[in-house]
Amino acid sequence: MTTLCLDFGNTRLKAGIFEGDCFVEEVALPDDSIGPIEFLVNKYHPERSVLSSVVDHNFEIENLLASSTAFHKLSHTTRLNFTSPVGKPQTIGADRLALAAAAVHFIPAKTTW
């Protein structure tokens, strides 16, 4: 199964392509225009996609991904493999949520930090 992962941070926008659990390619995106995302969707035909964004972005991207893949936008409401004792979970950026979920996934024996 092919998954397109988008990471829109404060300094860089990038995409990662995965085949199952295997990383295939990273693509630096010049901006949040729809063209480069359409290109990746047409090239890889992902079945799934996920967007982690901490910036205001072009919402056409979400529409494209939702219409062509099983799309999920990562947020504080996403069901994850860990819990957080933060009083206001909506203040945790999607990038930090993704990083914490990856750490728990790849290092499951380390359950408390």
Ordered strands of the 2-8 beta sheet? 22-29, 13-19, 2-8, 48-53, 70-73
What is the pTM for the complete model shown?
0.79
Which domains are delineated in the chain?
1-73 (3.30.420.40), 75-113 (no CATH)
Answer yes or no: 95 catalytic.
yes
Highest mean pLDDT pick, 8-12, 77-81, 109-113? 8-12
Q: Which of 7, 21, 32, 95 is catalytic?
A: 95
Read off the pLDDT of residues 20-43 as tens digits, 9 standing for 90 and up.
989 999 999 999 999 999 999 999
Query: Which segments of 1-113 does DSSP mark as H helices, in order?
Result: 34-44, 60-68, 94-106
Condensed to tens digits (0 to 9), the pLDDT of residues 75-95 reads: 777 777 667 777 776 777 777
